[in-house]
Amino acid sequence: MIAHQKNDAGRYLALLGFLWCLCLTYPVLAHAVPMVNDPNGFQSLAWGVALTTRSELEITRAGPHVNEYRLRDSAPSYAGVPVESVRLLSVDQQFARVTIHYQGEDRHKQIMSYLEQQFGSLERVPGQMMRGLNQQYTWRGTDTEINVTYHANTERGFVFIDSRSLAPRFNDHITDSAE
């Protein structure tokens, strides 16, 4: 009987350890913060404009429905912070998404500080993942949604700034064979 109880206790502790590891590696569902100042686009570009008419942009990936652009002749930055890349995407010739990739905890803190100053504090919303290996934050406005994912173990961060009405159209052009 005592050996059986020790075996059950060991299984219980192993299960608890496994669940604890899952909690550390997967972000909790993040609730969106209501956005204070919806930018309705990115910098001086409004959602829906044709990016092909902008001379400061160059196309980096062309497709039949989705095109990707980057700023020509400038180092990528966001909120005055140097980043690895800033990509602007259009769907059916309409500007719909910005993706920003960055590296480093210091840059993450600077970007998060900027986002909170511009779009609202995260502290008032339960469920935001503030610490841990994978952190996730969301601001949702009338026209714009901003999602940040940060992987603390690799210090890699991603910011997605989407048009709430146009970005869902990207899904229309994903084939059934896409992986």
147 vs 99: CA distance, rounded Å: 10
Residue 159, token pair as written in the block? 């910011």
69 vs 7: CA distance, rounded Å: 59
In a structure prediction context, what are the per-residue pLDDT tens digits for the chain, which is 179 residues long? 555 555 555 554 444 344 334 344 444 445 688 999 999 999 999 999 999 999 999 999 999 999 999 999 889 999 999 999 999 999 999 999 999 999 999 999 999 999 999 999 987 555 555 556 899 999 999 999 999 999 999 999 999 999 999 999 888 876 544 44
Residue 116 in any domain: the answer is: yes
Distances (CA, A) of 16 to 4, 21, 80, 117: 18, 9, 44, 39
Cβ-contact 151, 157 below 8 angstroms: yes
pLDDT at 20: 39
Residue 16 in any domain: the answer is: no
For residue 12, give the H/E element and its range.
helix 2-25
- Domain count across the chain: 1
pLDDT at 85: 97
At 4, which amino acid appears?
Answer: H
Residue 18 in any domain: the answer is: no
CATH number of the domain that residue 112 is part of: 3.40.1000
pLDDT at 128: 53
Residue 71 in any domain: the answer is: yes
Residue 93 in any domain: the answer is: yes
Domain that includes residue 150, residue range: 29-173
Spell out the residues 6+ positions from residue 73 whose beta carbon is closer than 8 angstroms to its own: 56
> Cα 3 from chain centroid?
50
Of 83, 75, 74, 70, the closest CA to residue 42 belongs to: 70
